[in-house]
Structure 1
Amino acid sequence: MIIVAWNIRGVANKATIRTLKEIKSQHRPDITLIYEPKCSGNKATEVIKALGFNFSFLEEADGYVGGIWVLWDNPALTINILETHHQYVAMEVKDPSHSPWKLTTVYASPQEGIRKNLWENLKRLADATTDAWMVIGDFNEIAEE
């Protein structure tokens, strides 16, 4: 399984769309995760169509802040969204060659007080799963200063 995750900080420009198409063509990701797309609604639909993805789930940005896109092409890949939040999307991934597993993709708030809620939710999700579980994303955490 190949997963591409990118904090893109704005997806709706020709150069970024071209780069994403190149990544998609060269690496053939099963799942593409986009953080901070800085577009939503009809514009998001246009961009996803331009990128050539057949399936998508969007946790919309609040204006230009945040946002998480889950994109995929393979019709044999089933992604069931289990829970959404402005800082994460939790899902179950099923494909014919693997046992179902959980994926949680994160775009954490840069504000520490808001981010605390994310960690509480991730702990709750961890306690509730017995499947394999991957957590991936931009946690906006500084390991060391």
Structure 2
Amino acid sequence: MNIISWNARGAECTKFKTTVMNLSRTHHMDILFICEPRISGGKAIDVVKSLGFSNYEIVDANGFSGGMWLLWNASKVTVDIVGTSAQSISACVCWPGQTPWMFTAVYAHPCIAKRQKLWDYLSFVGANHNMPWIIAGDFNEMLRFEDKLGGTSLCRLRGFKTWFDNHDMVDLGFYGSKYTWTNKKGYVIGSALDKSYALIAPLKQ
């Protein structure tokens, strides 16, 4: 099982499609989540259809802001979309012979007030589906102080950590660079804001 989550920050250029094809060849993706494609409507559908996946769910970007695509091949995996919001796509996922589980792909809004609506929505999702649950994506917040190098951390250590702790989630860790964002200026500020956390919750009793 290979699931890739990628904050693309734009999906209209030729380089985007080339990168997806390279990822597919290298990692044999079963499910691909793209956030921040920054295109919508017919243009988004045309790009999605060119990526080689049989099925998809799209939450359109708001102008050039946000947007989410969940793509999969129905010949490999069964994905039933159970709900979408402006900041998430939730689906029941099942491989042949395996127990179904919930997958929620997230792109949290940069605005704190709007981001709070995501944590409330995820609580609703968790309360209504009695399955193992994995969440991945761009949360735009951190779980711990060491997820940021330089700058002030407090503004990004709020709702997500509280939600994470209250729901007994487990951070599954990561491979690669610890810091996935930088301000690209003359002084160093790196953070894990864009890191694709993978989390799993135990079955409810």
By the TM > 0.5 criterion, same fold? yes
Aligned to 2:89: 89
Identity %: 36
Per the normalisation by structure 2, the TM-score is 0.67
**Counterpart in 1 of 2:13?**
13
Secondary structure of 2:63 counterpart: coil
Unaligned runs of 5+ in 1: none
RMSD over equivalenced CA pairs, Å: 1.3
CA distance in 1 between counterparts of 2:27 and 2:6 reads 14
Give the aligned residue type for 2:12: A
Alpha-carbon distance in structure 1 between the residues aligned to 2:131 and 2:8? 30
> 1 CA distance for matches of 2:127 and 2:13?
40
Return the letter of the residue paired with 2:137: G
Query: Whose strand proportion is higher, 1 or 2?
Result: 1
Q: Which structure ranks higher in relative contact order (CA pairs < 8 Å, sequence separation ≥ 6)?
A: 1
2:77 corresponds in structure 1 to 77
Instruction: Calculate the TM-score normalised by the size of structure 1.
Output: 0.94
Unpaired runs of 5+ in structure 2? 146-152, 154-205
2:35 maps to 1:27: no
Larger-Rg structure: 2
Contact persistence 2:88–2:106 (CA under 8 A)? yes
Q: Within 2, Cα distance between the matches of 1:47 and 1:103? A: 23
Match of 2:41 in 1: 41
Equivalents in 1 of 2:76, 2:53: separation in Å? Answer: 14
- The count of corresponding residues between Structure 1 and Structure 2 is 145
Secondary structure in 1 aligned to 2:29?
coil
Per-residue deviation, residues 80-132 of structure 1 (Å, max 9, x unmatched) = 11111000011111221311110011100000001111111111222222211
Write the letter of the residue equivalent to 1:48: V
Contact 2:101 2:131 in 1 (8 A): yes
